[in-house]
Amino acid sequence: MGKFCHCNTLCVVCSVLGALAVATIVALWVVQLTFYVRPADPWDDHRLPPSLVPDSYHVTLWPRLHPDGHGMFIFTGTSRVRFNCSRDTNLILLHSDKLTLTSKDGHLVKLTAVSGSTPVIRKSWLHPTNQYLVVQLNGVLRAGEAYDLYTEFEGQLADDLEGFYRSMYNEDGVEKILATSQMHPTHARKTFPCFDEPAMKAVFHITLVHERGTVALSNGLETGQAFSYCPEVVDTVIDGSLVTRTTFEPTKRMSTYLLALVVSDYSNVRIWARKKAIDADQGELALNLTGSVLNFLETYYDIPYPLSKSDHIALPDFYFGAMENWGLVTYKEANLLYDVTISSNGDRETTASIIAHEMAHMWFGNLVTLKWWNEVWLNEGFATYVSYLGADYAEPTWDIKDLFVLNEVHRVFTIDALATSHPLSSEEESIQTPAQIAELFDAISYSKVGWNLKKYCSQHHWIDSKPKNQSTYLTSFAYGNTESSDLWEHLQQVNNNGISLPGKVNEIMNHWTLQMGFPVVTIDTRMGQLSQTHFLLDPESKPKSRSEFNYEWIVPIQWRKSSQEISLTWLSGRHALNNNMKTSGDEWLLANINITGYFRVNYDSENWDRLLNQLNTDHKVLPVINRAQLIDDAFNLARANIIPISLALNTTRYLHQETGYIPWKSALNNFDYLYLMFGKSDIYILLQRYLKKQVEPLFLHFKNITLDWVNVPEEHSDQYNQVNALWVACSTGVDGCQNLTRMWFRQWMEQPEISWIHPNLRATVYCSAIAEGGTEEWDFAWKMMKNSSVASESDKLRAALSCSRDTWLLNRYLNFTLDQDKIRKQDATSTIVSIARSVHGQMLAWDFVRRNWEYMFTQYGVGSFSFASLISGVTASFSTEEELSQLLQFKMDNAAAGFGSATTALEQALERTRANIRWVSGKEQEIRSWFLHETSSK
């Protein structure tokens, strides 16, 4: 699945209370077992019993795109599932959620033995607590026999973005409804009764019944129409209305969560979208990319794409970035559609990397699937890593792979440094309920393993270039399910004649997957001493569980001295001595070159001084990724009280000479934390003054190379950094910046049909103009947002509207998020969070969330991911005792309703607030005097 948010702000939060996985391979000692009491009845257990294994489904569904007499949108359906019995049983248990069983003859469930005798049904009922349909029998199902279970049912085609749901858009003043689906991870059961676990793979025969003139899509090709874009469908009369019935070729053996269904009146080129969007060629980039990325991946994996078609569809209402349904990938509109004249370079990169991510899943995830959700990273880690390779293939001049550290590693570092983080692999039994499953889709599962895999695999050329036998893992488990030990075994085989490692692959990797967190490696260049400790952002926090590896890792350290070549040193165990790491004179030592390792680095203070000296004299001697890393490591070490904050701030003194995007972005992300903590204090002014001083040369640099903002910088990363330059210059008041953005925005207001503002710069120009402007600017931007037919453009405007400094406007905007006609449900959370990110919106957003929590909680679906990001987003700036007690009060007030998938996020918010309070009071004085010193000199 695609990350549900592609921004660099805090959109992802973890996690699951980490009970340690019992490694099947390494039978070391197990420190903490989740005490797991077997429930009394099988239907009280969240997991299906293993006695029945599905083989195939025949499902017919009929979504009604018009409300019935009671104003309800519904769908009806029938399903026949064939399953094999592997152990005698008198019980059939399958998932069914929010469905009503219907029947014309009084038998809600019909059972037939494929051969032999059929036991009589004693009793059947729905068990909503665990989303089951329970069928008890008088006789027994015999091991080795197959049975068919037939049901008819009705469900709601709600606008809840889960299961089979409805989405709405407006085209030329006409309101249009479409039916679409999101089964991942546990919503197939909301569409038809099924064995809804990823290892319960089966073949699906789908039929969709729909109004004439609409198009039906599913995973398989419309039957008998291979390679045709206009399926010939048969009209039939059902229940008195004339409809179309489209049947699809059976799927491959696959998991229920990969199923997809769409009924709409869309236009296509196998890129499906609103007719107007397709007419405007917004699907062209996606069409270009899907073809070339598919070819790239076929070669890369050395396995042909196994399906006869690959559909990609853009949906007006879709919560996640995208979903890799096999053969029918669904996207948020902004992620798939691209308008050459209106979209930015960032939009282009987003489209390329999300398409690459979803296409990578066609093999990792769909062909070979995780056994259970406790190892989500087996799907997502690979897809995340391979998405960079695919996007790099599509845009070879963009150096997209360089952005991995900034976009993925830094993001996951901040979360994985919390005591409430979780190991990549959780214990299978600790992940049971849909809410627990939902919580696992966090940065850790996506980004951490991506990096770890790269670390080991690229060295063996196992991933970066195609090895001879890489396919063994994918081919051995094709159409099946795996767990991490299977992967390590295959990696081991690949590596057997490869480079030497300080242990077996599984032994090394288990350190990284079975225990949470990562180390800070300290190098003392005076003695050549090396050591590692578990890096915790809050030094007073304690991990909830002990680790079977004692929070030690086997760490590959790439390092060099100023005068030497790169060396590789493995650190296993707490301490080591390496005489080569001693330095003398003004020679510096730099470790973790290009961040090939998942750890932070600290040095003795002399070496820090020498590195900073290098930055200040000729920063280009250090690789650009490491310049960013020195800043990020230093700020985080300072947050953990390992080094003084003034040392971290010192890493930013050279920025007035820096033009590189990655170091600037890294510094701004870290300053962002200071803004959150000190936005309401006198330090705010000092921060502004300092950044203004540092950014001015960058602003002038871009003014110069773009010939007064006329040209576009050549390099992709310069295009990004131009945005940073404008953003910081305007918000700190660099001369000429606000004048510029105000002028562009004014021109646009006067002549909205003319493209006055370059697409790359729009997000930041809109924000600056709305921040400086008043109701007139706000209302204009709102109107343009509602009228825009390009999703990425309306997303930019939606974000910019939160930049206002006007309390009344912000409050009104918050109110809009509860009105679906104004802000779509999928966008409500991110809108509230972006208001909460600004100094002016922080308190307003928190008050709003407190006031409306109960309403939102019941309206937005309990399994939804949005609550976690809502809680972490609105509490990000909390750093006072007053805010802490409000948060505790909030927890108490809503204890009865609970917090669903935000449960962990709330605990983390409390933990973070306490840490912030300690940190701010401990550092405030030092920070104030550092800024005073820096801004008063000269």
Tell me which residues touch Zn ion (CB under 5 A).
1, 380, 383
Report the partner that residue 624 touches, choosing among Zn ion, ligand NAG, none (CB closer than 5 to 8 A by kind). Answer: ligand NAG
Angle CA 525–542–596, to nearest 5:
45
| Residue number with CB closer to Zn ion (445 or 731) | 445
H or E segment and range at residue 786: helix 775-787
Separation CA 379–CA 375 (nearest Å): 8
Q: Where are the alpha helices (DSSP H) in 3-93?
A: none
Report the partner that residue 644 touches, choosing among Zn ion, ligand NAG, none (CB closer than 5 to 8 A by kind). Answer: ligand NAG
Q: Which residues, listed in sequence order, are joined to residue 179 by a DSSP beta bridge?
A: 166, 263
Q: Which residues, listed in sequence order, are joined to residue 141 by a DSSP beta bridge?
A: 89
Q: Helix 683-705 vs helix 661-678: angle between axes, to the nearest 10 degrees?
A: 160
| Residue number with CB closer to ligand NAG (235 or 819) | 819
Report the partner that residue 383 touches, choosing among ligand NAG, Zn ion, none (CB closer than 5 to 8 A by kind). Answer: Zn ion
In the complex, the smallest distance separating the C-beta of residue 351 from Zn ion, rounded to whole angstroms, is 15
Report the partner that residue 1 touches, choosing among Zn ion, ligand NAG, none (CB closer than 5 to 8 A by kind). Answer: Zn ion
H or E segment and range at residue 138: strand 132-141
* 403 Cβ contact partners less than 8 Å away, ≥ 6 residues apart: 388, 662, 717
Q: Is 793 annotated as a binding residue?
A: no
In the complex, the smallest distance separating the C-beta of residue 379 from Zn ion, rounded to whole angstroms, is 6
| Residue number with CB closer to ligand NAG (592 or 904) | 592
Q: Which residues, listed in sequence order, are joined to residue 576 by a DSSP beta bridge?
A: 530
| Residue number with CB closer to ligand NAG (433 or 738) | 738
In the complex, the smallest distance separating the C-beta of residue 934 from ligand NAG, rounded to whole angstroms, is 9
Separation CA 519–CA 592 (nearest Å): 12
Separation CA 899–CA 888 (nearest Å): 13
Separation CA 763–CA 342 (nearest Å): 12
Q: Which residues, listed in sequence order, are joined to residue 376 by a DSSP beta bridge?
A: none
Report the partner that residue 935 touches, choosing among Zn ion, ligand NAG, none (CB closer than 5 to 8 A by kind). Answer: none
In the complex, the smallest distance separating the C-beta of residue 777 from ligand NAG, rounded to whole angstroms, is 17
| Residue number with CB closer to Zn ion (383 or 555) | 383
437 near 862, Cβ under 8 Å?
no
Interface ranges with ligand NAG (CB under 6 A): 284-285, 288, 340, 402, 566, 593-594, 623-625, 644, 646-647, 650, 701, 704-705, 739, 743, 808, 811-812, 815
Chain residue whose CB lies nearest Zn ion? 1
381 near 449, Cβ under 8 Å?
yes
* DSSP sequence for 615-649: HHHHGGGS-HHHHHHHHHHHHHHHHTTSS-HHHHH
Report the partner that residue 650 touches, choosing among ligand NAG, Zn ion, none (CB closer than 5 to 8 A by kind). Answer: ligand NAG
H or E segment and range at residue 859: helix 842-859
| Residue number with CB closer to ligand NAG (185 or 390) | 390
Q: Is 422 annotated as a binding residue?
A: no
- CA-CA distances (angstroms) from residue 113 to 614, 802, 821? 78, 61, 50
For the chain, the C-alpha Rg in angstroms (whole number) is 28
In the complex, the smallest distance separating the C-beta of residue 321 from Zn ion, rounded to whole angstroms, is 8
How many other CB atoms are there within 10 angstroms of residue 53's CB atom?
16
| Residue number with CB closer to ligand NAG (24 or 775) | 775
| Residue number with CB closer to Zn ion (370 or 409) | 370
| DSSP helix/strand/coil, 327 | coil
Q: Is 380 annotated as a binding residue?
A: yes
In the complex, the smallest distance separating the C-beta of residue 813 from ligand NAG, rounded to whole angstroms, is 8
Catalytic residue among 152, 358, 375, 883: 358
- Distance from first CA to last CA of the chain, Å, rounded? 52
In the complex, the smallest distance separating the C-beta of residue 57 from Zn ion, rounded to whole angstroms, is 24
- CA-CA distances (angstroms) from residue 105 to 62, 75, 102, 109, 112? 20, 20, 9, 10, 16
Instruction: Strand 555-561: give its sheet, edge to edge.
Output: 567-571, 555-561, 589-591
98 near 190, Cβ under 8 Å?
yes
Report the partner that residue 408 touches, choosing among Zn ion, ligand NAG, none (CB closer than 5 to 8 A by kind). Answer: none
Separation CA 766–CA 797 (nearest Å): 7
In the complex, the smallest distance separating the C-beta of residue 291 from ligand NAG, rounded to whole angstroms, is 9
Separation CA 748–CA 497 (nearest Å): 63
Give the residue among 891, 837, 829 at the shortest CA–CA distance from 860: 829
| Residue number with CB closer to ligand NAG (145 or 284) | 284
Is the preceding peptide bond at 15 cis, omega within 30 degrees of 0?
Answer: yes
358 assigned to active site: yes
**Amino acid letter for position 314:** A
Report the partner that residue 566 touches, choosing among ligand NAG, Zn ion, none (CB closer than 5 to 8 A by kind). Answer: ligand NAG
Report the partner that residue 543 touches, choosing among ligand NAG, Zn ion, none (CB closer than 5 to 8 A by kind). Answer: none
In the complex, the smallest distance separating the C-beta of residue 328 from Zn ion, rounded to whole angstroms, is 15
Q: Please enumerate, by residue number, every residue annotated as part of a binding site.
A: 357, 361, 380
Q: Please enumerate, by residue number, every residue annotated as part of a binding site for Zn(2+).
A: 357, 361, 380
Residues marked as catalytic: 358
